[in-house]
Amino acid sequence: MPRTRYAVGVDFGGTTIKTGVVSSEGKIVAQSKVPTLGEQGPAAVVRQMQQSIAEVLEQAKKMKINGIGIGSPGIIDQKAGVVYDPPNISGWRRVDLRKEIGKRFRLHVEVENDANVAAIAEAKFGAGKRFPDFLFVIWGTGVGGGIILDGQIYRGPHGGAGEIGHVSIDYQGPLCNCGAKGCVEAYIGQRRLSQRAVERLRDHPGSRILSLVGGDTSKVEPVYISQAALEGDGLARELFTEAGTLLGVALGSVLNTLDLRVVIIGGGISAAGDFVYDAIKSSTQEHVMKPMRKDLKIIPAKLGNAAGILGAAGLVL
Amino acid sequence: MPRTRYAVGVDFGGTTIKTGVVSSEGKIVAQSKVPTLGEQGPAAVVRQMQQSIAEVLEQAKKMKINGIGIGSPGIIDQKAGVVYDPPNISGWRRVDLRKEIGKRFRLHVEVENDANVAAIAEAKFGAGKRFPDFLFVIWGTGVGGGIILDGQIYRGPHGGAGEIGHVSIDYQGPLCNCGAKGCVEAYIGQRRLSQRAVERLRDHPGSRILSLVGGDTSKVEPVYISQAALEGDGLARELFTEAGTLLGVALGSVLNTLDLRVVIIGGGISAAGDFVYDAIKSSTQEHVMKPMRKDLKIIPAKLGNAAGILGAAGLVL
């Protein structure tokens, strides 16, 4: 058996920084979690990362460490190890994270965007272990993705691959933040899903969604719709079923392009229940080429919140 | 300089079989063309291919030949060299072309689907020579595609990648032959484009399209619409501009997924004029993520009818 190796994984988010030491078998053997001091700017945030890494290295000081992997929001130059414009960190235009983190620890540093990191986590340690090729989808605030081909992340020639939230499902559809029309994210991202719930609540005054937000529709969010769906609320299930059906249209387009038959879906919204996966699956099935229908698999991600640390460590394991 | 190599390329189509000997520089040094005897069944057609190959080998008998590449319609098992169900050949269920052709010539045989072959031709010898990564689109009877990543064709885990005609542009759109709704092919393939022309001719009795078909709308086909467009006919240009705009929506989805910025477009319909490329480009630009817009290139294929022979030979060069 090959010797167990270890690496540091940093899940750098706008609200928390989660750091861990991860074994090559996918076990987190040390960890730390701090709220991101986004308003204090990049230097403070980089210091927080350094301190967190020092802390987990101290906890795991008996282990030999392969390197440090960092999953980050924003636009990532993966080759250079540089992060541009992550949301919620004031004044962060461009930070060379590889340099800033590397100079303190003298370890190899890799930086990758958070959707790709989650895809890598599922490929190495989660629901994708059995599948050399799959599409990973993260469905939460927005809709993101990562493409695993032959066990490796496909980044594309400029590092931007996997933007499946911006697959259009209607050329006459609503305008998306990105400037295009009909992107699936503009239909099923957190904001639009909440809006649609509020609109439909007018005709469903008895919905459990309404009682969960104490009657205040300004508080409607997917987490409450999800809770209501779990409790069997009709409107909540309808909303997720519709959204899952729309997601399936975009998935069909992507699978036809890439000849993939496995989709692993994570993120907050996907957690509403098995019926969401059923809706996604039957819609995707209707949109893929015939030879692909039989083998199609739409399965939930396995790693939940740990995916960020695990996948980041996976970058250097 | 490396020595020039040679290979046989067979462009096996439902109406003609074109065969050539091609140099590693992309020169066709010998060729043959025969009408496909589709109604006589697979054995006769395989014999035609064998005779055509023997003929071009005889013409080029001074050259050392690397192998034989075959581009074919139907469903291709590229690894096995087997072709299933090509249209217009009666009784062809499954033919092991690698075996049938290989046993006669004792040369290495590769078989690939015709869209991928055309993509390979453009990558090796045509408009794609300068671009390691691009999407190739063939827009004619239907809409097909091939994906070139890092200079190589991307086939996908099951050999079916590049079905970009079946990217949906409207989840409530018309039913496609494939069973899904809103596939771009169902909007801009030859049949639908002709139908739309006929519908619109009612309000455009003076259109040049109508005089080109001698007033008989049952004869309307893209080749006449294209001719009318070249002569400046307003309706014809409108039809292609609309179709190009719809193609751009699908291209945007594919480019966002794969992070590609170059699209090479061939096939009969794309030949209608530069204005079609302009329409495709401005629509694609509206549908790709911001960082991709500046560098976006939508360019015509270069090789025309020779792409089949060139790309087939390219399989073994």
Separation in Å, CA of A284 to nearest CA in chain B: 9
Q: What is the mean pLDDT of residues A35-47?
A: 96
- Residue positions counted in chain B: 317
Confidence of residue A273 (pLDDT cuts 50, 70, 90): confident
Q: Do A287 and B158 lie within an 8 Å CB cutoff?
A: no
Q: What is the mean pLDDT of residues A189-194?
A: 93
Q: Looking at the structure, do residues A12 and A118 belong to the same domain, yes or no?
A: yes
| B96, part of any domain | yes
- Judge whether B288 is closer than 8 Å to chain A, CB to CB: yes
Residue A2 has pLDDT above 80, yes or no: no
Chain B segment 124-153 residues within 8 A of A by beta carbon are 132-133, 145, 147
- B158: chain A residues, CB-CB within 8 Å: 259, 261, 291-292
Q: What is the pLDDT of residue A271?
A: 79
Q: Looking at the structure, do residues B57 and B142 belong to the same domain, yes or no?
A: no
Q: Looking at the structure, do residues A16 and A117 belong to the same domain, yes or no?
A: yes
Separation in Å, CA of B234 to nearest CA in chain A: 24
Q: Looking at the structure, do residues B145 and B13 belong to the same domain, yes or no?
A: no
Neighbours of A282 (CB within 10 A): 15
Confidence of residue A24 (pLDDT cuts 50, 70, 90): very high
Neighbours of A150 (CB within 10 A): 8
Can you spell out the DSSP letters for A178-209? TS-BSBTHHHHSHHHHHHHHHHHHTT-TT-HH
Chain B segment 166-225 residues within 8 A of A by beta carbon are 166-172, 178-182
- B170: chain A residues, CB-CB within 8 Å: 169-172, 182
| A156, part of any domain | yes
Share of chain A above pLDDT 90, in %: 94
What range defines the domain where residue A81 resides? 6-122+306-314
Q: Looking at the structure, do residues B180 and B244 belong to the same domain, yes or no?
A: yes
Q: What is the pLDDT of residue B273?
A: 85
Question: Across all residues in chain A, what is the average pLDDT?
Answer: 95
Q: Looking at the structure, do residues A117 and A246 belong to the same domain, yes or no?
A: no
Residue A1 has pLDDT above 70, yes or no: no
Which among A163, A246, A254 has the least Cβ separation from residue B289? A163
Q: Looking at the structure, do residues B199 and B296 belong to the same domain, yes or no?
A: yes
Would you tell me the crossing angle of helices A234-258 and B234-258 to the nearest 10 degrees? 100
Tally of structural domains, chain B: 2
Q: What is the ipTM of this complex?
A: 0.94
CA nearest to A167 within chain B: B253
- Judge whether A163 is closer than 8 Å to chain B, CB to CB: yes
| B1, part of any domain | no
Q: Looking at the structure, do residues A162 and A268 belong to the same domain, yes or no?
A: yes
Output the domain CATH number for residue A150: 3.30.420.40
- Judge whether B247 is closer than 8 Å to chain A, CB to CB: no
Q: Looking at the structure, do residues A113 and A133 belong to the same domain, yes or no?
A: no
Q: Do A133 and B181 lie within an 8 Å CB cutoff?
A: no
Distance between CA atoms of A32 and A53, rounded to whole angstroms? 8
| A1, part of any domain | no
Q: What is the pLDDT of residue B87?
A: 86
Q: Looking at the structure, do residues A171 and A195 belong to the same domain, yes or no?
A: yes
Which among B160, B180, B259 has the least Cβ separation from residue A156? B259
Size of interface A-B (CB pairs under 8 A): 150
Q: What is the mean pLDDT of residues A158-175?
A: 96
Considering only residues B297 and A269, tell me which one the structure prediction assigns the higher pLDDT. B297
Please compute, for residue B175, the number of CA atoms within 13 A of its CA located in the half-sphere on the CB side: 3
| B264, part of any domain | yes
Name the stretches of chain B with pLDDT < 70: 1
Output the pTM of the full model.
0.95
B88 — phi, psi (to 5°)? 70, 10
Q: Do B156 and A259 lie within an 8 Å CB cutoff?
A: yes
b/e map B16-39, b = 16+ CB within 10 Å: ebbbbbbbbebebbbbbeeebebe
- A113: chain B residues, CB-CB within 8 Å: none
Q: What is the pLDDT of residue B270?
A: 78
Q: Which residue has the tokens 């392009």?
A: A257
Q: Do A167 and B253 lie within an 8 Å CB cutoff?
A: yes
Q: What is the pLDDT of residue A115?
A: 95
Q: What is the pLDDT of residue B1?
A: 59
Q: Looking at the structure, do residues B208 and B244 belong to the same domain, yes or no?
A: yes
Q: Looking at the structure, do residues B176 and B61 belong to the same domain, yes or no?
A: no
